[in-house]
């Protein structure tokens, strides 16, 4: 018995020694960084689900801001870099993009094991990413987006009517949920030529499948993520699937049905589905590739936009001055004589754009962006050269940069006017690398322009028709959910709405 105990103890010690021996990586190279602890490195709260990952990164950021342009830290046993200065962030994401071509998360996905997400441009690498992104980029031209707006207007009417119908119940609105109903209906119409019926059914199938598609809080997903974070080499011998099989099957079938119906009906409609059908003929795309492109658009347009709308409405509800000023401008500048939104003015409206970007400054949908070094490069770090080796991951803490008092006066306050023209507008902050709600460089969010369009339209329609206030059910101060990879707050965002007569 003692022999077995000694053997087990020896093996545990050897494992501990092997695992922690990597913790000297940055020290040996003369780079500053917090001291890691076994077994979770510098992000223990994230792994133990005590709080969201972004707060552990923010602790590191706050400790080293103003000291160095970047630091080394550990996620479990994996060494990574955290960009502290916006200059380094811009270098990684824009200037030296060829050296940081891929994102680390793409290693988690495989086309065979996960046919839907494995074909998403977000999950692709190298030349394959470039080719797939080039296939879908033309779908987001100004002309094509303009042609989609009538579909958005149809859903806006349903959105408004739904709120009117629910108001007499005298219950607070879960603003993220009703925003998701809106975006689900919009993207389902644009991609699958389908009415998702989000405002009429209790649990519409497309909405439920969309929810499963982006559910990164499931125990199965989290276990896989923790395993791959602690033992990344496992991914070389076994490929996990992050998309449930029933979800993959549903969206593949939905795309096949949509294409069949469109081709048989001979209907001419300049939507995303028409573009995919044209692409299929040019490139001889397989059904699975069609479905993957459709799901890429769906996830970009459904989840991120619904969160952007929810946060915008929350901040507007929370600031009566902004709400009254914006409503006045809507009625005077953004609505035509027929009561319709003026599309061109909506996209160019200065104050609406300021509200949008100030909201996503405070509440970026992704709190951190990741880039993997694909070609070795050397950076200066306070007068010393530091070689970033191929395979090293660099995280850009957008959440922390957006709230840094060196770049924003009273950074936790909602102040759209900080982007006034005399301050250089939104463009000035983007150019300095301190405002990146959609990322930056060649891998900037593919659906950014569509998200802008539908989000702005939804906010205009709600603010012009309803007075908004924050319900006490909203837990403040807002805190990002512990398990989430995107910026979803604990307890939800709850608003009271009153119809404007």
- Residues making up the annotated binding site for heme are 445
User: What tokens appear for 2 in the block?
Assistant: 């003692």
Burial class (CB in 10 A: 0-12, 13-18, 19+), 126: exposed
User: What tokens appear for 55 in the block?
Assistant: 């707060």
**Whose CA is closest to 406, among 166, 132, 67?**
67
Q: Helix axis angle, 205-213 relative to 245-265, nearest 10°?
A: 130
User: What tokens appear for 497 in the block?
Assistant: 């709405």
Contact 482, 52 (CB under 8 A): yes
Contact 308, 359 (CB under 8 A): yes
Residue 401 φ/ψ, nearest 5 degrees: -65, -40
Alpha helical stretches, state H, 49-99 = 53-64, 86-90
**Whose CA is closest to 178, among 496, 431, 451?**
496
Q: Helix axis angle, 448-465 relative to 175-192, nearest 10°?
A: 130
Residue 67 φ/ψ, nearest 5 degrees: -100, -50
Distance in angstroms (rounded) separating the CA atoms of residues 93 and 50: 30
At which residue do the structure tokens 């769906």 appear?
Answer: 298
How far from chain centre, in Å, is Cα 74? 23
Q: Which helix (H) or strand (E) holds 60?
A: helix 53-64
State the virtual CA torsion across 159, 182, 351, 361 in degrees, nearest 10.
Answer: 150
Distance in angstroms (rounded) separating the CA atoms of residues 294 and 20: 43
Contact 351, 416 (CB under 8 A): yes
């Amino acid at each position: 018995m003692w022999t077995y105990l000694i053997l087990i103890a020896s093996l545990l010690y050897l494992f501990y020694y092997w695992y922690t021996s990597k913790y000297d990586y940055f020290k040996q190279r003369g780079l500053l960084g917090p001291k890691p602890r076994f077994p979770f490195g510098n992000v223990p709260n994230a792994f133990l689900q005590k709080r969201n990952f972004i707060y552990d990164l923010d602790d590191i950021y706050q400790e080293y801001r103003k000291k160095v342009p970047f630091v080394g830290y550990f996620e479990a046993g994996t060494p990574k870099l955290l960009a502290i200065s916006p200059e380094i962030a811009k270098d990684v994401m824009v200037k030296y993009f060829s050296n940081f071509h891929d994102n680390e998360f793409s290693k988690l996905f495989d086309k065979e094991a996960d046919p839907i997400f494995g074909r998403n441009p977000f999950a692709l690498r190298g030349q394959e990413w470039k080719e797939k992104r080039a296939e879908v980029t033309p779908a987001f031209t100004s002309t094509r987006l303009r042609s989609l707006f009538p579909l958005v207007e149809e859903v806006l009417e349903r959105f408004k009517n739904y709120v009117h119908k629910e108001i007499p119940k005298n219950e607070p609105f879960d603003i993220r949920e009703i925003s998701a109903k809106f975006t689900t209906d919009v993207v389902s119409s644009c991609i699958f030529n389908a009415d998702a019926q989000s405002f009429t059914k209790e649990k519409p199938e497309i909405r439920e499948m969309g929810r499963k598609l982006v559910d990164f809080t499931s125990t199965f997903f989290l276990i896989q993520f923790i395993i791959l974070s602690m033992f990344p080499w496992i991914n070389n011998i076994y490929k996990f699937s992050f998309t449930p099989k029933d979800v993959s099957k549903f969206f593949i079938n939905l795309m096949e049905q949509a294409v069949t119906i469109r081709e048989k009906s001979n209907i001419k409609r300049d939507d995303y589905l028409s573009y995919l059908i044209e692409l299929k003929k040019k490139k001889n795309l397989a059904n699975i590739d069609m479905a993957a492109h459709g799901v890429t658009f769906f996830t970009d347009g459904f989840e991120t936009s619904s969160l952007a709308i929810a946060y915008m409405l929350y901040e507007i509800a929370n600031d009566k001055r902004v709400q009254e000023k914006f409503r006045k401008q809507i009625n005077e500048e953004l609505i035509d004589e027929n009561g319709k939104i003026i599309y061109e003015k909506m996209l160019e409206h200065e104050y609406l754009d300021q509200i949008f970007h100030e909201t996503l400054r405070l509440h970026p949908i992704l709190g951190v962006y990741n880039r993997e070094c694909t070609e070795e490069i050397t950076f200066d770090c306070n007068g010393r050269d530091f070689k970033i080796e191929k395979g090293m991951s660099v995280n850009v803490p957008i959440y922390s940069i957006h709230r840094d008092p060196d770049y924003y006066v009273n950074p936790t306050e909602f102040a759209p006017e900080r982007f006034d023209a005399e301050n250089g507008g939104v463009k000035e902050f983007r150019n300095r690398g301190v405002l990146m709600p959609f990322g930056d460089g060649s891998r900037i969010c593919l659906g950014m322009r569509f998200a802008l369009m539908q989000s702005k339209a939804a906010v205009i329609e709600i603010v012009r028709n309803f007075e908004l206030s924050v319900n006490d059910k909203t837990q403040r101060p807002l805190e990002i959910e512990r398990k989430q990879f995107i910026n979803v707050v604990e307890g939800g965002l709850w608003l009271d709405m009153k119809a404007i007569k």
